[in-house]
Chain A
Amino acid sequence: MNRRHLEQQVALCAMYGALVMVVVSLLLIIGVTVLRGGHVLVTRPEVVVTPPGPRYLLGGGGGFVHAILGSLYLVLPATLLASGIAMGIALYLQSDYTSRRTAGAIRNLLDALWGTPSIVYGMFVLTILISLQQRASLLAGIAALTLLEIPIIARYADAAVQAVPPMAKETSYALGTTRWENSQVVIRYALPGIATGVLIGLGRGIGDAASVIFTAGAGNNMPSGLLEGVTALPVLIFQQASSFYPSVREQAYAASFVLIVIVLVLNVASRLVTNYFARYIPGGR
């Protein structure tokens, strides 16, 4: 009896410990960005709406709206594209469309892709760009981010779709649905899980520098077209943080804070949408 009690206490301590560690590091991260970059946003809030001035990275004036826009232009289309492709993959992996063996092989492949460092995606797209004799552009950046996000969203969507009770699928088939109509029903059931996957893919995409630094570019200009280069926030942060000038390094923290806020806002917004749909799902809210 005593030993079992002790076991439980130890396990509980481990759980609390893990929780505290995560929460503390999260607070530290936010705290440091706010402490070091917050005053920039307070004293010069216009940096989030001003384009960079000349010699921006050398301590010149201006702000970093180009990177905020650049990040959004890169990650929103990429996430949209990746979600569409990932949904196709997730549905194809179901037994309605393919055999268990093929599905297993594809899942392994997706897992391998998931674990591939993002710089590899960047290099891959860069190789294509070079062979086509093209420069870095918004379009190429979107392509790299889409590739990066596909395996993540596909695996989440796959898990969500697999979690739909087989009987629910069966009853829908029993109404005389075609496979495609049935898939639409399955997507409705799996929507909350799919949305989680989309969010995580988006988070990975918006925070990634390595895949876009060679493909989308790193110039200090405003986004001006699909075939022109853009800078993503993480790339800019990398540049600012490695600067000699303290005033530039401060802006790196301000930009980081903005990045966190963007992720948070997108998170909350999509949660609201998902919760709305989750109301309809049996066993949901």
Chain B
Amino acid sequence: MESEIQIRDLTITYGGRHHVVAVNNVSVDIPRNRLTAIIGPSGCGKTTLLKALNRLHDIKEGVQVRGHIVIGGEDIYQSRLPVFELRRRVGLIGQKPYPLPASIYDNVAYGPRIHRRAKGGELNEVVERCLRQAHLWEEVEDRLDSPAAGLSVGQQQRLCIARALAVEPEVILCDEVTSALDPLSSQKVENLLRSLREKYTMVMVTHILRQARRLADYVIVMYMGEVIEAGEAQEVFGNPRHEKTREYVKGIMAGA
């Protein structure tokens, strides 16, 4: 397995009145061009770990990140790489879609515009390609100029994925991206994620264990801020080593 992201001795604490160690001394590798699922109970630090991968904690006061995260050979907390360039390479899609207050077209074009990666006719191509990649093109091609806020939530989520793709990231982070969606939209987004996993290194946080089982090549199991198990999906689900993981997998079996 060729790894794209190496996490070493990562500890993340939230300061303020209640000092919380959300991620505790985590070391784990994430493979290239495959889909990695991070699973674990609520509050175990999945979102916190994910946000560290594109330095999104930097924008908040009082969050302390210690340790090393190497992405594509570069230690992202040490290197001179500007943080906005890092975030271009490592995109993040959140739980709820927040389209920019602009038209559908401008939402997708926004990233390439600020990063000066495309303009004019080129931009039209990028927008079309990304909307197609996000399986949204057919639904919106005749109303690209209308407000993105007018789309359904499921469409908005796919728009946000298209928007993230438009800056040509290498890594895509997804935090419970289907949790605000109805089953049909969820399925569309799942198919979309499946179609993306060969081209991008994908890291997906999910509460839905069956979703992890359907999509993931590789699985990281977290428990109380620590990674208790990491490995090929078949292995983790088929032959879990940690007792907590075993409890989970049983849950899947019982639910399935």
Contact = CB atoms under 8 A, between A and B. Distances in A.
A284 B84 contact: no
Interface string B156-169: 10001001100100
Contact of A188 (B61, B95, B101, B164): B101
A189 B101 contact: yes
B87 A174 contact: yes
A191 B101 CA distance: 10
Nearest to A169: B59
A168 interface: yes
B101 A281 contact: yes
Nearest to A281: B101
B147 interface: yes
B54 interface: yes
Contact of B94 (A167, A185, A191, A282): A167
Contact of A280 (B93, B110, B115, B147): B147
Given A99-B61, A170-B59, A282-B148, A175 B88 contact: yes
A242 interface: no
Interface in B139-183: 147-150, 156, 160, 163-164, 167
A21 B147 CA distance: 40
Interface centre among A173, A181, A189, A284 (most CB of B within 10 A): A173
B149 A281 contact: yes
A165 interface: yes
Given A95-B61, A280-B149, A283-B149, A175 B111 contact: yes
A225 interface: no
Interface string A157-175: 0000000010111111111
B56 A177 contact: no
A171 B85 contact: no
B100 interface: yes
A178 B92 contact: no
Contact of B98 (A100, A165, A176): A165
A175 B59 contact: no
B102 interface: yes
A177 B101 contact: no
Contacts of B164: 174-175
Nearest to A185: B100
A96 interface: yes
Nearest to B96: A167
A171 B111 contact: no
Given A99-B61, A282-B99, 14 more contacts: A167-B98, A170-B59, A171-B92, A172-B100, A173-B56, A173-B59, A174-B93, A176-B86, A176-B88, A176-B114, A178-B84, A280-B103, A282-B149, A282-B156
24 contacts: A165-B98, A167-B94, A167-B98, A168-B98, A170-B94, A171-B92, A171-B160, A172-B100, A175-B110, A175-B167, A176-B84, A176-B85, A176-B88, A176-B111, A177-B84, A185-B100, A185-B101, A188-B100, A280-B102, A280-B149, A281-B101, A282-B99, A282-B149, A283-B149
